[in-house]
Amino acid sequence: MNRKRPGANSRPKNSRPPNRRAERAKPPTDDPARTAALETLRAVRERDAYANLVLPGLLRQYRVSGRDAGLATELAYGSARARGLLDAVIAECSDRALDEVDPLLLDALRLGTYQMLRTRIPGHAAVASTVDLVRGNRGSRLAGFANAVLRRVGERTESEWVELLAPDVESDPVGHTAFRNAHPRWIAQAFAEVLDDTGAELDAALAADDARPAVHLTARPGEISADELAAITGGDPAPYSPYGVHLEAGAGDPGELEPVQEGFAAVQDEGSQLATLALTGVELDGRDTRWLDLCAGPGGKANLLGALVTLDGGALDAVEQAEHRAELVRSATRGLSVNVRVADGRAPGLSGTYDRVLVDAPCTGLGALRRRPEARWRRQPEDVADLVRLQRELLSSAVRLTRSGGVVAYVVCSPHPAETSGVVSEVVAETGVRQLDARPFFPEVPSLGDGPSVQLWPHRHGTDAMFCALLRV
């Protein structure tokens, strides 16, 4: 660690929180945006909640809209995304270990530190608003502690804190880049292995992962074109997907858009669209009307596949293990020739064989960290092994369910080698299926590497880091 630790006399005076239980008070009512952001962080910490699912309800609860909703979203998602970096800075400015700090106070300190280091909010305003938030939730004694810590945080910029606290760039380039872009080191190492780079490209990949993503929409085929959807929503047609539209980051809740509410469009990353379309682009001899989505929840890819096969007079079977997620699939595919079945994709009990099968397998989600702010700090390296076993079983099941001459697409939103090329190579060796060069089925998409699989990246393509392999049975 390149630590130029300040002397002990630079610690905040009288900053130690009291040992006895602090008095409780009602949350402040004059800052509903920051209150909603704080409650989001608390839900993520206490209930393993997803920030993007919790925050919309809190915005409605506290009646936050317009620019204030944008502020709440920025603070909640940004603080969750940068938690590791924020915690390192807070720890350096506190005379108490973080695990000894009141958890809600720590959440508030993360909000305050994020504002001071990563927004244009003036430092004095960030300190004052955070101290008020702490006073309203935990009382005046802890408010004094928060004030002392945040004033220490404000003594340096983010780049100065990185210079002080990050691992040395010469001896540990991956650790340094991971810290600078607020990623756990093990995730940065996995990215570095796939990119075969520990320098500029790894930094670009992590930086893109750390930025606010644009909102991506899919125009449902047969209902509305991408140009029409872009005109209605004020967005731009996507660069690669013929059904995609991009909206600016922070453009509001896309669920409130009329085409989304009416089912003509859906929120879906362009990388997911491209991987889905790759399955449909492979030529088949003979029948091509029986398609299968083996891991269909929550229904984004089933919606696109279902729309396309319905236009061709065929049908899609959509398998989802969890009933509540199966209901999401039914909702997403309403009006299409889609049959939703609640079953385990490893043994779904289906009869006959299919022409095209999609395996959008459960994964670590390391390729979609920009859209799941809290995920990078929740996932652990040991999660990978169990998921790889499941992914391998699902892909083997898909091969058994596909007719001779049919095609299987294996898709995960992760670039981790064990979840991508590792799974595919094992199943190919076990079953004897042939892996196709997937790159021609991503037309006009640049920088697809050496194949035969395709790995998309936020910093190269503006999509999630989606992986796709195509297998001919």
DSSP state of 82: T
For 77, residues 6+ apart whose C-beta sits below 8 A from its C-beta are: 51, 52, 55, 212, 373
pLDDT (tens digit per residue) in 348-397: 999 889 999 999 999 999 999 999 889 999 999 999 999 999 999 999 99
pLDDT at 251: 64
C-alpha torsion 10→15→19→24, nearest 10 = -160
Question: Which of the four pLDDT bands, split at 50, 70 and 90, describes residue 20?
Answer: very low
Nearest Cα neighbor of 271 from 468, 9, 30, 57 is: 468
Q: How many residues does the chain have?
A: 473
Least confident of 42-56, 177-191, 398-412: 42-56
How many angstroms separate the CA atoms of 190 and 168, rounded? 19
Mean pLDDT value across the chain: 92
Please report the beta strands in 177-289, taking only residues with DSSP state E, as ranges in sequence order.
215-219, 236-237, 244-247, 265-267
DSSP state of 350: -
How many angstroms separate the CA atoms of 447 and 454, rounded? 10
Q: Is the pLDDT of residue 34 over 50?
A: yes
Three-state DSSP at 158 gives helix
Q: Which residue has the tokens 């991506």?
A: 216
**For residues 401 and 109, is the Cβ–Cβ distance under 8 A?**
no
Question: Which of the four pLDDT bands, split at 50, 70 and 90, describes residue 18?
Answer: very low
Q: Is the pLDDT of residue 2 over 50?
A: no
Question: Which of the four pLDDT bands, split at 50, 70 and 90, describes residue 255?
Answer: confident
Instruction: Give the helix/strand (H/E) hosting 290.
Output: strand 290-293
pLDDT at 270: 98
pTM exceeds 0.85 for this model: yes
The average pLDDT across 266-273 equals 97
pLDDT at 5: 37
pLDDT at 174: 98
Q: Are strands 236-237 and 434-436 parallel, antiparallel or unpaired?
A: unpaired
468 is catalytic: no
pLDDT at 252: 67
Q: Is the pLDDT of residue 422 over 50?
A: yes
Encoding tokens for residue 383? 């999660």
**CA gyration radius, the chain:** 24
**Residue 207 Cα to chain centre, angstroms:** 14
C-alpha torsion 276→282→288→289, nearest 10 = 10
The average pLDDT across 139-152 equals 95
Comparing 390 with 8, the larger pLDDT belongs to 390
What are the backbone dihedrals phi and psi of residue 166, each rounded to the nearest 5 degrees, phi first?
A: -75, 150
Q: Are strands 467-472 and 402-412 parallel, antiparallel or unpaired?
A: antiparallel
pLDDT (tens digit per residue) in 205-235: 999 999 989 999 999 999 999 999 999 999 9
For 218, residues 6+ apart whose C-beta sits below 8 A from its C-beta are: 241, 243, 244, 245, 265, 266, 267, 268, 273, 300, 303, 304
Encoding tokens for residue 179? 């810290």
Nearest Cα neighbor of 376 from 386, 366, 384 is: 366
Catalytic residue chosen out of the listed positions 295, 363, 413, 468: 413
Instruction: Give the helix/strand (H/E) hosting 329.
Output: helix 323-332
Q: Is the pLDDT of residue 16 over 60?
A: no
pLDDT at 12: 41
Beta bridge partners of 354: 402
The average pLDDT across 98-119 equals 97
